[in-house]
Amino acid sequence: MIYTLHVNGEWHRVDDDGQTPLLWVLRDALRLTGTKYGCGKAQCGACTVHLDGRPVRSCSVALADAAGAQIGTIEAVGGAEADAVTEAWVARGVPQCGFCQSGQVMSAVALLRSNPAPTDQDIDLAMSGNLCRCATYPRIRAGIHDAAAALGASRS
Amino acid sequence: MTTPPKPRFKLTRRKMILGGTLAGGALVVGYTATHPMQVAGAVLTAGGPAAEPGSFGPYISVAPDGWVLIVNPQQEMGQGIHAALAAMIAEEMDADWDRVRVVQAPVNFAHYGPQIAGGSNNVASHWDRLRQTGAAARSMFVDAAALRWQVLRRQLTVQDSVVAHPASGRSASFAELIADAAQQTPPQQPMLKQPGEYRLIGTDRVRRKDCRPKSTGRQIYTQDVHLSDMLVAVVAHPPRFGGQLAGFDDSDARKVAGVVDVFAIETGVAVVALNTFAAMQGRDALRLRWDDSAAETRSSPELASWYRDIAAGRVEEDAHSFEERGAIDQPQRGEVFETTFDFPWLAHAPMEPLDCVAQVDGWNVNIWSGSHNASVDQIHAALTARTIPGRINLTVLTAGGSFGRRGVAMSDYVVECVRIAQRTGGRPVKLIWTREDEMAGGYYRPMAHHRVKVVLGSDGYPADWRHHIVSQGLLPFGSNAQNSEGVAGSPYFATAATVDCRITSPSLPVPVSFWRSVGHSHTAMVMEHVIDQLARRAGRDPAEYRRVLYRAAAAERRVAVLDELCRRAGWNTPLEQGWARGMAVHECFGTIVGQVAEVRLDEDRPVVRRVVAVVDCGIAISPDQIAAQVEGSIGFGLSAALYGAVTLRDGIVQETNFDTYPLVRMNEMPAVETYIMPSTRPPTGMGEPAVPPIAPAVANALLALTGEPTRSLPFLTGRGATNADV
């Protein structure tokens, strides 16, 4: 069946089974490989994308359910929050292997868009769905605070 | 205390022959005499800047725009090796670090020797060679400037890729000197800096250079490789280790849209499709029959019980003695301390599940892989494809973690991918292992059991130490030294008149392998937790008790780490009610790491809020990346300590994803403070040595809180191999 997906501001026609996880449509059909496969059951967050602005695990969203929504991936995430997060990640030297970081960045950007001055507890709540096997968590936390400060709203 | 670094090998004229060649506007400095086309090919395959054939050497090139390109032989899997090795070259070269670019070398034995990573060895093993390479390049630029300006070499200075003659105010950049420098003869014994002269090494300028692509989704991993006409494969593996395929029905699998082919291979049944999801659906639709006559069908408690029987001498198994001192048939008299420890299998669980891309074209095989041990993968791929290693064109990609799994000695998933690619008529194949495939697929940190009996002297220190380890061997040869490291040669034996340490290596079909910090992942827990229990018996402070033993063993570096650790952690200062500190100090692959953890119990759950770490890794190349590895190692080690266990029920792995094999998440990660001991010793690695201390540090804090010792890991869940019947 043919579905119409709105990804990163562009419309795509995708001919696939409606039960196909959005993750594999993004990666294999649209070649947007910044979104990673890590577990396939919404346990690790490596596949986090924005669906109508909310962070979701694309491995657990069916193509049929994603059709018509505004989907944003790491390749096109933009705006002040995304810029601040990227710069903080580079300045802090957050990534190690880096494989989870697309998902971490997508979750962090969504957090800052809804909460410009997150507390440590807010960060725990928003980021605990994103595993990092290299355990870069202390730098992710510091990076979010840096980004919030750069956005002019830090309370920490 | 300073030991001058010993050169691993001397530079010879033949080896330096590439130095001084010039083509395409770039200076080349390298080692080996090889065909220029090979060299260029090597670099270009790795994605280096476009250049004329022959313009690049194996390690360094300077482009006409002044950028210094460093080709890094070893694989980046998160450990920061690219920055560390490049800094060695850039320091001696006095290159402008902000204009240094690092690229990954492909496999090339002639240029780089063995491209493997183990025992956190690559910083130590490249220290002399890469500094000499950088110093040789610097010398050629200095010669060029001296000639151009008709001045003496010693009147020249070099900084940030600029050669200057302060007396006359003249200066020239490396870029301006390339043509002249290329005419110079590289020195055979270039002068190396003394540690006090470093301007880059040891500073916060040495940061990793891959943060931007990794923070924007642009870093390409094996999972992301796309080639024209490429197929995707998944494999149905036997559900039990040692099981064999007895038969399969693929009629439904072939009906799945996108499935191209289904066939049996040595490791199971491969489903090849146009995309990943079709391959997975095709595999789900297979009907499979397995022959388990040679398979492991036991459960973890039964195996743990067998291990205990071996160590207790209740069943007869060969034991290898790895440390023996004194009259071991005449035990010392005194107070006896006895304990046992049980450790489960552990999966590596790198965030990027295993994957590989291969294309077989007759004798030529192209492979794209996040190869931890690229040289080993190349040889196994050649054996599989019945070709020679030189026909294996292996592009080494950044790995989304490995922790040992991508360095399995038999190159299991690379070989599997090549076997599939032999059956696709030349079309490239991307092999994808699901998370479940990876966790249930073996090559674990082995289960281990320790039995320790210590007789205490009248002074409260060990007089007699008996130790029996039971753990599967990691290699098909040798005496399983990987699983006794950390016990062998322990400073805690210093006061013992008799020492008797043995290891038994039982054989079973569950494949095991190297897991970040290898044997130290269990031996440190045993030694450090036993020491705290002995200190309590003796009525001594655990830090003071250690200090006495370290002094007796003349382990001065340990004493220094311990003293600094106590100072930084506020060891003797009070904590709030309900909190306790625990410490561990352990040497792993030449690096000593001490940690103090601050722990409380939330019902039965250890909560770790702060870890103070002190590191002696010799000369610190990148303080930032040393801290990163300490932070990451503590998170990695804490995940294993709290939750990590792969268990069997009737031979079937019970933990197959992060819901049953949990990792520490953001809300459980302690704050980590890292302090680095000043040192002028040659550097040792940091990828693994900060993993082992965290489990015993937490166990020792729990001992202080509750008085109860830990006898098995993980702390939490009843799923642990060995918790079931303890």
Chain A hits for B256, CB-CB cut-off 8 Å, are none
Chain A hits for B664, CB-CB cut-off 8 Å, are 135, 137
Q: Among all residues of chain A, which has the CA nearest to that of B212? A: A90
Per residue in B578-616, pLDDT tens? 999 999 999 999 999 999 999 999 998 999 999 999 999
Distance of CA B712 to the CA centre of its chain: 25
User: Within 13 Å and on the Cβ side, how many CA atoms surround B103?
Assistant: 23
Are A96 and A113 part of one and the same domain? yes
Of A47, A72, A97, the last residue of a domain is: A72
Six-digit token string for B77: 């899997």
A56 within domain boundaries: yes
Distance of CA B187 to the CA centre of its chain: 34
Residue of B223, B255, B284, B351 to mutate when probing chain A, most A C-beta within 10 A: B351
- In terms of phi and psi (left: phi > 0; alpha: psi -120 to 50; beta: otherwise), the region of B229 is left
For residue B180, what pLDDT is reported? Answer: 87
Contact B75/B83 with Cβ under 8 angstroms? no
A13 within domain boundaries: yes
Are A84 and A142 part of one and the same domain? yes
Of B78, B658, B671, the CB nearest to A134: B78
* B447 vs B400: CA distance, rounded Å: 25
B162-165 vs B157-159, strand pairing mode: antiparallel
> Can you list the positions of beta strands (E) in B267-319?
268-273, 287-291
B658 within domain boundaries: yes
Contact B658/B435 with Cβ under 8 angstroms? yes
Contact of B350 with chain A, judged by CB distance below 8 Å, is answered with yes
B723 within domain boundaries: no
Distance of CA A100 to the CA centre of its chain: 10
Contact A101/B210 with Cβ under 8 angstroms? no
**Tokens 């419309």 sit at which residue?**
A11
User: Within 13 Å and on the Cβ side, how many CA atoms surround B509?
Assistant: 20
- The total number of structural domains that make up chain A: 2
Contact of B473 with chain A, judged by CB distance below 8 Å, is answered with no
Report CB contact under 8 Å: B663, A131.
Answer: yes
Are B608 and B660 part of one and the same domain? yes
Phi/psi at B113 (nearest 5 deg)?
Answer: 70, -160
Six-digit token string for B401: 């973690």
Are A124 and A145 part of one and the same domain? yes
- Asked if the model's pLDDT at residue A149 lies above 80, the reply is yes
Per residue in B504-550, pLDDT tens? 999 999 999 999 999 999 999 999 999 999 999 999 999 999 999 99
* B378 vs B106: CA distance, rounded Å: 11
Are A31 and A85 part of one and the same domain? no
Confidence of residue B624 (pLDDT cuts 50, 70, 90): very high
Report CB contact under 8 Å: B663, A101.
Answer: no
Are A106 and A141 part of one and the same domain? yes
Report CB contact under 8 Å: A124, B667.
Answer: yes
Q: What is the pTM of this model?
A: 0.93
The residues facing B355 across adjacent strands are B432
* A83 vs B303: CA distance, rounded Å: 53
- The total number of structural domains that make up chain B: 3
B346 within domain boundaries: no
Are B598 and B620 part of one and the same domain? yes
For residue B20, what pLDDT is reported? Answer: 40
B157 within domain boundaries: yes
Show the 3-state SS of chain A.
CEEEEEECCEEEEEECCCCCEHHHHHHHHCCCCCCCCCCCCCCCCCCEEEECCEEEEHHHCEHHHHCCCEEECCCCCCCHHHHHHHHHHHHHCCCCCCCCHHHHHHHHHHHHHHCCCCCHHHHHHHHCCCCCCCCCHHHHHHHHHHHHHHCCCCCC
Chain A hits for B232, CB-CB cut-off 8 Å, are 28
Please report the residues numbered 105 through 134 in chain A whose beta carbons come closer than 8 angstroms to any beta carbon of chain B.
105, 123-125, 127-134
CATH of the domain at A43: 3.10.20.30
Contact B475/B409 with Cβ under 8 angstroms? yes
Six-digit token string for B479: 């005496």
Residue B389: closest CA among B420, B356, B413, B411: B411
Of B156, B189, B213, the last residue of a domain is: B213
For residue A155, what pLDDT is reported? Answer: 44
Contact of A40 with chain B, judged by CB distance below 8 Å, is answered with yes
Are B590 and B693 part of one and the same domain? yes
A132 within domain boundaries: yes
Full domain range(s) for residue B419: 222-294+354-432
Per residue in B207-226, pLDDT tens? 999 999 999 999 999 999 99
Core vs surface per residue A103-115: b (16+ CB within 10 A) or e: bbbbbbbbbbbee
Report CB contact under 8 Å: B219, A46.
Answer: no
A156 within domain boundaries: no
Contact of B6 with chain A, judged by CB distance below 8 Å, is answered with no
Residue of A96, A127, A131 to mutate when probing chain B, most B C-beta within 10 A: A96
A155 within domain boundaries: no
Are B525 and B584 part of one and the same domain? yes
Least confident of B54-63, B446-455, B671-680: B54-63
CATH of the domain at B129: 3.30.365.10
Residue-wise DSSP of B420-439: HHTTTTT--EEEE--HHHHH
For residue A54, what pLDDT is reported? Answer: 97
**Widest pairwise Cα distance in chain B:** 84
Are A114 and A66 part of one and the same domain? no
B711 within domain boundaries: no
Contact of A80 with chain B, judged by CB distance below 8 Å, is answered with no
- Asked if the model's pLDDT at residue B61 lies above 90, the reply is no
What is the residue type of A3? Y
The residues facing B455 across adjacent strands are B336, B464
Distance from CA of A66 to the nearest CA of B (A): 17
Residue B376 CB coordination number (10 Å): 21
Confidence of residue B28 (pLDDT cuts 50, 70, 90): low
How deeply is A41 buried, as exposed, middle or buried, from its count of CB atoms within 10 A (0-12, 13-18, 19+)? middle
Report CB contact under 8 Å: B401, A33.
Answer: no
Are B370 and B458 part of one and the same domain? no
Q: How confident is the prediction for chain B on average, in pLDDT? A: 90
Q: What share of chain B has pLDDT > 70, as a percent?
A: 91
Are B390 and B263 part of one and the same domain? yes
Residue B188: closest CA among B294, B352, B412, B31: B31
- In terms of phi and psi (left: phi > 0; alpha: psi -120 to 50; beta: otherwise), the region of A75 is alpha
Report CB contact under 8 Å: A39, B435.
Answer: yes
Are A95 and A130 part of one and the same domain? yes
- Asked if the model's pLDDT at residue B418 lies above 90, the reply is yes
Residue A1 CB coordination number (10 Å): 10
Phi/psi at B270 (nearest 5 deg)?
Answer: -95, 135
Q: Among all residues of chain A, which has the CA nearest to that of B224? A: A33
* B468 vs B453: CA distance, rounded Å: 9
Are B473 and B393 part of one and the same domain? no
* B589 vs B688: CA distance, rounded Å: 8
* B627 vs B686: CA distance, rounded Å: 9
B498-504 vs B320-325, strand pairing mode: antiparallel
* B166 vs B154: CA distance, rounded Å: 11
Of B78, B633, B666, the CB nearest to A97: B78
Residue of A57, A97, A156 to mutate when probing chain B, most B C-beta within 10 A: A97
Are B154 and B290 part of one and the same domain? no
Confidence of residue B29 (pLDDT cuts 50, 70, 90): low
Phi/psi at B242 (nearest 5 deg)?
Answer: 90, -5
Per residue in B224-263, pLDDT tens? 999 999 999 999 999 999 999 999 999 999 999 999 999 9
Of A40, A72, A104, the last residue of a domain is: A72
Please report the residues numbered 7 through 36 in chain A whose beta carbons come closer than 8 angstroms to any beta carbon of chain B.
17, 20-21, 24, 27-29, 31, 33-36
Confidence of residue B42 (pLDDT cuts 50, 70, 90): very low
CATH of the domain at A92: 1.10.150.120
Write down the ipTM of this complex: 0.97
Report CB contact under 8 Å: A36, B352.
Answer: yes
With vertex at residue A101, the alpha carbon angle to CA B642 and CA A44, rounded to the nearest 5 degrees, is 45
* A21 vs B11: CA distance, rounded Å: 56
Of A27, A46, A72, the last residue of a domain is: A72
B462-471 vs B498-504, strand pairing mode: parallel
- Asked if the model's pLDDT at residue B627 lies above 90, the reply is yes
Are B497 and B581 part of one and the same domain? yes
Least confident of A89-98, B43-52, B113-122, B283-292: B43-52
**Widest pairwise Cα distance in chain A:** 50
Full domain range(s) for residue A67: 2-72
A84 within domain boundaries: yes
Chain B hits for A31, CB-CB cut-off 8 Å, are 226
Are B290 and B330 part of one and the same domain? no
Contact of B232 with chain A, judged by CB distance below 8 Å, is answered with yes
Contact of B228 with chain A, judged by CB distance below 8 Å, is answered with no
Of A95, A101, A124, the CB nearest to B666: A124
